[in-house]
């Protein structure tokens, strides 16, 4: 894949357009629809829900995770092993393609009703992106107070925590999508959704490529994003 395709994808991200990211043949072998969270609208949620069909999640750069004190969900459950012993047996220690789950808590914005409608989920994501951007100018206490004031948990948006050094440690969709946000210069939180096939399995890479071509969307492979990132995020 040429650097020109990644540059085009970065420009599309800045414009609020979807891009498509395939992780790897030796990992999940899944393609995700990806958009910058700051540009999410009800139409974006509807597109992901109808044309992708997987789980709609929102990533957070590690800087944001630390500022808002976002825990990994596996750690929250581990803290409750004494009260609920069954949780110990449910530990995610056998993920076949990874060593750690990126899942954090689930949230709804406090102005949502049920939280699941396209309008409600778009509100939650866009307001989370707004807080994520603001958090860089707040201290931890201020950021966490603002988080609690604006959101409730559990909710219908699954947050995903990026690892501290992004693609140097973990190379999942959470890190790939967040790295693209960093390189695009937008608020470093992406909203992503796996593309599913009519057979109930993940949409094949070739079918995902055909979908991208049909709708003039950039299709990127994780290995090319990683290479571009390692070269400084500018292709040089």
Which residues form the catalytic set? 32, 57, 97, 108, 156, 194
Asked if 156 and 108 touch (Cβ cutoff 8 Å), the reply is yes
Rounded alpha-carbon distances, angstroms, from residue 30 to 33, 54, 172: 10, 10, 10
Residues whose CB falls within 8 Å of the CB of residue 56, separated by 6 or more in sequence, listed in order: 45, 48, 49, 121, 157, 158, 191, 192, 193
Q: Is the CB of residue 219 less than 8 Å from the CB of residue 30? A: no
In degrees and rounded to multiples of 5, residue 178 shows phi and psi of -65, -40
7: how many CB neighbours lie within 10 A of its CB?
A: 15
- Nearest residue to 34 via CA among 177, 170, 133: 177
Going by C-alpha positions, the residue among 111, 201, 188, 192 that lies closest to residue 158 is 192
CA-CA distance, 72 to 66, in Å (whole number)?
A: 11
* Distance in angstroms (rounded) separating the CA atoms of residues 165 and 42: 32
Q: Which among 187, 167, 166 has a CA at the least distance from the CA of 58?
A: 187
* Chain length of the chain: 236
């Amino acid at each position: 894949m040429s650097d020109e395709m990644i540059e085009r994808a970065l420009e599309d991200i800045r414009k609020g357009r979807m891009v498509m990211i395939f992780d790897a043949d030796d990992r999940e072998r899944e393609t995700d629809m990806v958009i910058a969270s700051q540009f999410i609208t009800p139409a974006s949620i509807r597109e992901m829900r109808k044309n992708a069909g997987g789980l709609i999640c929102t990533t957070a750069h590690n800087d944001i995770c630390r500022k808002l004190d976002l825990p990994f969900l596996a750690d929250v459950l581990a803290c409750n092993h004494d009260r609920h012993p069954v949780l110990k047996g449910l530990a995610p220690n056998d993920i076949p393609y990874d060593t750690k789950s990126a899942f954090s808590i689930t949230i709804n914005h406090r102005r949502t009703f049920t939280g699941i409608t396209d309008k409600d989920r778009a509100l939650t994501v866009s307001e989370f992106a707004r807080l994520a951007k603001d958090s860089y100018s707040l201290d931890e206490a201020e950021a966490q107070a603002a988080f609690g004031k604006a959101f409730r948990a559990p909710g219908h948006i699954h947050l995903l925590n990026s690892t501290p050094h992004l693609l140097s440690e973990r190379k999942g969709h959470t890190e790939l999508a967040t790295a693209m946000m960093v390189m695009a210069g937008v608020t470093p939180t992406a909203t992503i959704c796996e593309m599913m096939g009519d057979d109930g399995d993940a949409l094949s890479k070739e079918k995902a490529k055909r979908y991208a071509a049909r709708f003039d969307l950039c299709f990127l492979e994780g290995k090319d994003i990683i290479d571009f990132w390692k070269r400084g995020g500018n292709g040089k």
